[in-house]
Amino acid sequence: MPDPGVVTIARKEFFDHIRSHRFLILLGILLLVVSMGVLSGTADYHAKVKQYDSIQKSVSSSPGGESSLPAYLEYMFVKPSVLLVFYKMSLLFVMIGGILGIAMGFDLVTREKESKSLKILLAHPVYRDEVINGKALGGIAAIALALIIVLVLAFGILLIAGIVPEGSEFLFISLFALATFLYISTCFAISLLMSTICEESGKALIYSLVLFIILTSLVPTVVSTPLAMKTIIGPQPEMPQVLADQILASVPGSGSDASGSAAQADAPATDPNQDLWDRYNEQTREYGDRQMRLRDIQYLFSPAKNYEKITTCLTSPDMIRYMLYFTMIESPLQKTDAQGQELSATIAYMPDLSFDESGLLSLIAGNLIALLVLPSVFFGLAYVRFMRMDIR
Amino acid sequence: MIQFDHITKEYGGVPAVDDLNAEIPSGEIFGLLGPNGAGKSTTILMLTGLIEPSAGCCRINGTEVATNPIAVKRHIGYMPEDVGFYPLLTAEENLDYFARLFRMDARTYNRRIPDLLSLVGLDGVTKKVGGYSKGMRQRLGLANALLNDPAVIILDEPTANLDPQGVADYRRIISGVAQEGKTVFVSSHILSEVSRVCTSIGLLSKGRLIAQGRWEDLSRQLQAGGSSRVTIVIEARDPIPELTHPDLVSATYSDDRRNATLLARSDISNAVIDTCTRVGVRLHGIRKEGVSLEDLFLSYYQAGGVPDHA
């Protein structure tokens, strides 16, 4: 049972939040953009359903049916899900949800220092941990309330549009809501930490935004640089000269980039270099897998990237491999064209991922755990900092 | 009862409070007097459990503060210097929140809060605390310090922002609670304020308690020690140099150094005139004045103790 001190403080903080102009304005903006997102997503959903129906009709009437089309178009045969509507919402949440979380936490402690109420609060019979835990709980409860309002609105619009989610879609929508809640809570925890570190609210806001930007943009970018990639996952496999020559020979004029995969696909069954092709393709695939794993790991440190990956997997799984994993691996052919430009062969890498329910859940499990760990770490740091704070 | 048992607080190796040892019995109004930076607020922060002492301990009604801060906080009322509240809440809402932290039952605090607001003259004020003047916040601070009907009330510079009516109300309230047998601990740098309400005082200088006792006794000691003192006021046309004399206790100069007030053990006017003439300072005038109790306190702060004439 929670301590009454925590409950008293959490209740006060919760009502402070939901009565503040800041919260109401941000909630209003959130409701507005979510309405627009859901309406636009609903239109997209209807369009995709229509497209799906027409593809189904045309494919079923063509000789060979679905098997006559290339594998990379398989997503076109998946019936569109209601979750597609939530995809647009997630795009909006990345920015507005982050701002909401930061706006709710950056002055929770600094405001008490500025109004001199912290000293009088701590002079009452409450432990310091009750104060910081109460503040965190009050903020989290307000975030949960905002999300519930937003989801109720989204469901309302869906029902008005005649779209009713089915069975497993409810599970995915619940996970979507959980991920959104954890993401906003992470941003809230970042700003709460800064509020315990800084003496002034202005500084706490700036530092919160700086840390948010670093985690959202800088960390994934730094690890994605060619130098970092090469250092961490090793060099890209080199294409054997004989294969490069084969590609160059197959491209008339050799005036533009050649596609290795296309060249391989066009190679005759009795290709004398087949073993070399197989080995090179295997090495390239392993390299692509290493790149994918590295990208997955670096995303774990970024709240926004974790959230993007989870919500994209849940709401628009056909996009995930193109958005996150589809990579063009370029190999120089050691030859220049007439204009002196280096010629290269580009191989498209696509991981072998399963997009059924369990496959998707295993794909996002790490990110969900990361979104649990990240706010816990920031709350933990805020807790330690607050407990050690000098009250003078 | 409040007990300080050789309490010391250091910041970066520098003592803010140095080996403070005192005992304040129940029902007493104790004034801790000292200039800014003497260590008064640090003493109060240790007494309220907001900071821990570097050495020694303080006890309230026999309970050690540092090891049982929550138990102690249940029985004290505290008003910090420059008291602050939640600006978006009314006075009643602020007190309601703090009453819940005391775990008072709703019936008790619903009855007590209007009474306290009436006592400090804030009854009928419905605006949020953010719109309060400093004096109104101070009044609310006093109401908050009395909220849990504490046995010990600790007030840090309680009259700093009050108007004359507020000061009169404060004195009336403090005298009333002391008559109920509660201990009141007041910190101030205003001698006249302490002398009006406190039954005993302690003089704190550079973190050390240089004197403690009944107000009447201490003031008698000071007056006796001060009877042989003289204040010399100098007005000059040129900047007055740094004056030195074996009988000079303290010297205060104006910013342009054309005025100086000297506190001395004897009349050193002639020596001052000689010094000024020698260095070419043209004097406008020089006169002797009686010594105020404030000046005597100041001189003893600077000297580091009260003469033992009692």
Q: A147 to chain B nearest CA, in Å?
A: 25
pLDDT at B192: 77
How far lies B47's CA from each of A335, B58, B61, B155, B300, in Å? 82, 6, 12, 11, 26
Q: Measure the CA–CA gap between A29 and A158, rounded to whole angstroms.
A: 19
Percentage of chain B lying above the pLDDT 70 cut: 91
Burial class (CB in 10 A: 0-12, 13-18, 19+), A239: buried
**CB atoms < 10 A from the CB of A386, how many?**
23
How far lies B57's CA from each of A126, B9, B80, B200, B282, in Å? 21, 10, 21, 21, 56
Do residues A350 and A72 make contact, with C-beta atoms less than 8 angstroms apart? yes
Mutate which of A120, A130, A133, A392 to test chain B, going by most B C-beta atoms within 10 A?
A: A120
Q: Measure the CA–CA gap between A45 and A193, rounded to whole angstroms.
A: 40
Mean pLDDT computed over B274-299: 78
Q: Checking phi first, is residue A209 left (phi over 0); if not, alpha (psi -120 to 50) or beta?
A: alpha
Q: Is the pLDDT of residue B294 over 80?
A: no
Q: How confident is the model at residue A264 (pLDDT cuts 50, 70, 90)?
A: very low
Helix, coil or strand: residue B263: strand
Residues of chain B contacting residue A124, judged by C-beta atoms under 8 Å apart: 73, 98, 101-102
Mean pLDDT computed over A161-187: 88
| pLDDT tens sequence across A283-305 | 888 888 888 888 888 888 899 98
Q: Is the pLDDT of residue B292 over 90?
A: no
Report the complex ipTM: 0.77
Q: Is the pLDDT of residue B98 over 90?
A: yes
Q: B273 to chain A nearest CA, in Å?
A: 47
Q: Is the pLDDT of residue A2 over 50?
A: no
The number of C-beta contacts closer than 8 angstroms across A and B is 67
Q: Is the pLDDT of residue A279 over 80?
A: yes
Option in A5, A20, A116 nearest B101 (CB): A5
User: Is B70 in contact with A126 (Cβ distance < 8 A)?
Assistant: yes
Pick from B150, B156, B145, B125: nearest CA to B34: B156
What are the structural domain ranges in chain A? Answer: 4-224+356-387, 229-348
pLDDT at A258: 45
Range from A45-59, B108-122, B124-138 carrying the lowest mean pLDDT: A45-59
Q: How confident is the model at residue A267 (pLDDT cuts 50, 70, 90)?
A: very low
Option in A12, A123, A127 nearest B78 (CB): A123
Range from A107-121, B85-99, B204-218 carrying the lowest mean pLDDT: B204-218
User: Is A125 in contact with B101 (Cβ distance < 8 A)?
Assistant: yes
pLDDT at A78: 65
Q: How confident is the model at residue A325 (pLDDT cuts 50, 70, 90)?
A: low
| pLDDT tens sequence across B195-243 | 888 888 888 888 888 888 887 777 777 666 655 677 888 999 999 999 8
Mean per-residue pLDDT over chain B, rounded: 86
Which chain B residue has the Cα nearest residue A116? B84
pTM score, whole prediction: 0.79
Which chain A residue has the Cα nearest residue B47? A123
Percentage of chain A lying above the pLDDT 70 cut: 84
Q: Is the pLDDT of residue A14 over 90?
A: yes
Q: How confident is the model at residue A67 (pLDDT cuts 50, 70, 90)?
A: low
pLDDT at A68: 60
pLDDT at B114: 94
Q: Is the pLDDT of residue B35 over 90?
A: no
User: Is B80 in contact with A123 (Cβ distance < 8 A)?
Assistant: yes
Mean pLDDT computed over A41-45: 85
User: Is B101 in contact with A390 (Cβ distance < 8 A)?
Assistant: no
Percentage of chain A lying above the pLDDT 90 cut: 35
* Residue B10, C-beta contacts closer than 8 angstroms, at least 6 positions apart: B16, B54
| pLDDT tens sequence across B132-191 | 998 899 999 999 999 999 999 999 988 888 888 888 889 999 999 888 889 999 998 887
pLDDT at A70: 58
Residue type, B195: S
Q: How confident is the model at residue A275 (pLDDT cuts 50, 70, 90)?
A: confident
Residue with token string 């709703």: B106
Q: How confident is the model at residue B113 (pLDDT cuts 50, 70, 90)?
A: very high
Q: Measure the CA–CA gap between A88 and A34, rounded to whole angstroms.
A: 8
Q: For chain B, report the end-to-end CA distance as a whole number of angstroms.
A: 26
Considering only CB atoms, which residues of chain A are within 8 Å of chain B?
Answer: 4-5, 8-9, 12, 16, 19-20, 115-117, 119-127, 390-392
Q: How confident is the model at residue A265 (pLDDT cuts 50, 70, 90)?
A: very low
Range from A146-160, A247-261, A308-322, A351-365 carrying the lowest mean pLDDT: A247-261
User: Is B84 in contact with A117 (Cβ distance < 8 A)?
Assistant: yes
Which chain A residue has the Cα nearest residue B82? A116
Instruction: Convert B170-185 to b/e letters by CB count within 10 Å (16 or more is b).
Output: bbebbeebbeeebbbb
Residues of chain A contacting residue B152, judged by C-beta atoms under 8 Å apart: none
| pLDDT tens sequence across B296-310 | 666 666 665 555 543
For residues A43 and A325, the model is more confident at: A43
